[in-house]
Amino acid sequence: MAEKEISILDREEIERKEILKRYKSLLRSIRHELTNEQKKEIRSAFDLALDAHKDMRRKSGEPYIYHPIAVAKIAASEIGLGTTSIVCALIHDVVEDSEYTNEDIRRKFGDKVAKIVGGLTKIQDVFDHTDSMQAENFRKMLLTLSDDVRVILVKLCDRLHNMRTLESMSRKNQLKISSETLFLYAPLAHRLGLYNVKTELEDLAIKYTQKEAYKEIGLKLNAKKAARDRYIKKFIEPLKSSLDESGLTYEIKGRPKSIYSILKKMNNQGIAFEQVYDLFAVRIIIDSKPEREKADCWTAYSIVTDIYKPNPQRTRDWITTPKSNGYESLHTTVMASDGKWVEVQIRTKRMDEIAEKGYAAHWKYKNNQDGVASAKTDGVDGWLSRIKEVLDNPSTNALEFLDDFKLQLIHDEIYVFTPGGDLKKLPVGATALDFAFEIHTEVGNKCIGAKLNNKLVPISHVLSNGDQVEILTSEKQYPKEEWLNYLVTGKAIARVRNYLRESKREAADLGKAILKKKFGKDKVVFNDDNIQKVLRYFKVNSPLDLFYSIQKGLISQDKLDIHFIVNNKIKTITKSDSLVKQNSTNKTNKKEIIVGEDKDLDYTLSKCCNPIPGDDIFGFITIGEGVKIHRTNCPNAVSLMSNYGYRVIKAQWQDSLVKDDKKFIAGIKIIGIDDVGIVSSLTDIISKNHGVNMKSITIESNSGTFEGTIALFVDDTKHLDLLIKSILEKHPTMQISRVDLNS
């Protein structure tokens, strides 16, 4: 017993020393000079966190306090945030995980810290599962962005550390957390200019959602590293001599592409790793005075394009017009001497810091005294202003709100001019109607068309870079449901939805009066129970929809026999009933998959991604169709797991599947050189050589090449891989990739 007690004491002493060591490392990582007052505040936050988490451990078994210290260190060293953010990072889980309240935080650290910590504290109330609880968490966090962007920055630090330590979590939580990361946090980091954070979040996410692909690409990148380094060295040698002669002070280096971006290119283009040539970019970073930045970057561009021939369609000038997240750089893609395309990025030290550190660096330069940088970093504030417009008008539906917000994150930008020459930034794909709402809500509401470069176009016309747009309005115009089909900006969509919702509510009030009158005429009590019976009779979702349908004539008043409806027995289908209802026509007969811990639970294979044995999978509890099995890299997986994490259930293929006549549908896409007999050759390999049946085959020929999709019945992923290998052995120039059939 004494030995055991000594070992516990020894462990506690070792951990105490390790905690202090990590705390001192945090202090050393802080980039700015700390005043005595700031040191005391950080120490006070550390002591509070230490006390609040003293009996807590992470899934890995480590003391929980390691986590807030690590989050604070990321905030300080990797993003460059200040004292307030470091304090908030240290105590971000205190209110949620201990008896300390937000009021305690307010008394000890003030209103600002209390507000940020409040935004970081997860919602613990139980929400109606018609909306996602996780979406409610997102909404609460994002709404605090209206007050202080540091909520999001600290949350990103928290998410990054959680992703770095995800190994110890269950498989279900790995999938859920990784999907949330891809769905919201990585785009948020990108939009706030945190390139390094965004890249690491994406790579760590696919490490768990697409394990095999991540591992395979990582191994291939490492195997080619030496050859890649030699290639970069050879490429930059002539650039160095010319840059030296120009008198510029510079640094030049190669930057490898992330695993996520390589995998995305492979999937989008249907190509193998070996066919991705731009595995790296060359970056030239110039030490420039503020007034010389633009001239020096264009000087470097001129040197690069004198030596290597540029692709004019791949030149991007984000120095003259920076991105909304403050990003400034010149990008060009040039042809190297061996005929390969290489991307070259040119920027100054200030631009590079903003590109790497994002909003924190933007704020630093915005508030310095030179004034030149300040004028160039206003784009971030413009984006935040547009975001706040969405946040200030949240819809009642959490998922709808999240969609509106996400629209602000994912699009690239175009630049469009008003008739007076004012520049407006809009997402790619924005229409004339989006532009109208960008000017003002009332202009959008009354928009009937536009003049595009003096030519009349409809409100649905998609705008291009450099367009000059004049909006035409009419007092008789008003928003319509169909407008939502060709709007892409969150602001415009939110405004139209609000208008339609309000109009529907007004119509519903009139419909309610009609129904109430009908109840009175039929001498039936107008109460909730009887209204529910009418809802079920007409199969309408809500009282609002019922009242609206009556007012608009979608439910004829002739059919409103209230006495008959209320006094007849109508079966009520509860949510729990519908949750377990199975679609018997689409059930699998044999249980190839263990769902949760149950070998006998019914499930169906999702048609959106057609999983086959060998695929990494998860189960999703649907309303009305039981458990559906999806691949973890399914097009819908990220959205399902991030928005409805509570409905995700573990699923895995049986270790030893009984080999019988059971086949699974898989799709492959083939691109190649068109030739006489190509279809016959493909079908011979598939059907004769491998005995594989085809469900369908579609081949289209165009200018000497062909593209085709084939749906096959296969045993598992190994069977499919063997078949693809056989086709490539006979036709090595073909490009073959697996596709989702969406059948």
Instruction: Compute the distance between CA of residue 236 and CA of residue 242 in angstroms, rounded to an integer.
Output: 10
Cα 471 to chain centroid, rounded: 33
Is there a catalytic annotation at residue 93? Answer: no
Which of the 8 DSSP states describes residue 31? Answer: -
Is there a catalytic annotation at residue 96? Answer: yes
Q: Which of the following is catalytic: 15, 18, 62, 97?
A: 97
CA proximity to 153, closest of 94, 82, 211: 82
Instruction: Compute the distance between CA of residue 169 and CA of residue 181 in angstroms, rounded to an integer.
Output: 15
Instruction: Compute the distance between CA of residue 645 and CA of residue 172 in angstroms, rounded to an integer.
Output: 9
Determine the Cα angle at 155 with ends 151 and 157, to 5°: 125
CA proximity to 327, closest of 143, 198, 428: 198
CA proximity to 286, closest of 354, 360, 352, 375: 352
Long-range contacts formed by 62-67: CB under 8 A, 24+ apart: 63/15, 63/19, 64/93, 64/97, 65/19, 66/19, 66/22, 67/93, 67/161, 67/165
Side chain identity, residue 231: Y
CA proximity to 95, closest of 132, 68, 71: 68
Residue 309 forms beta bridges with which residues? 335
CA proximity to 68, closest of 2, 108, 22: 22
> Under a CB-based contact definition with an 8 Å cutoff, are residues 592 and 601 in contact?
no
Q: Mention every residue, 6+ apart, whose C-beta is less than 8 A from residue 672.
A: 678, 705, 706, 731, 733, 734, 735
Question: What is the phi-psi region of residue 209: left when phi exceeds 0, alpha when psi lies from -120 to 50, beta otherwise?
Answer: alpha
Strand bridging mode 330-335 / 309-310: antiparallel
Cα 300 to chain centroid, rounded: 35
Q: Which of the following is catalytic: 15, 18, 62, 96?
A: 96
Instruction: Compute the distance between CA of residue 393 and CA of residue 142 in angstroms, rounded to an integer.
Output: 12
Residue 77: is it exposed, middle or buried by C-beta count within 10 angstroms (0-12/13-18/19+)?
A: middle
Query: What residues are annotated to the active site?
Result: 96-97
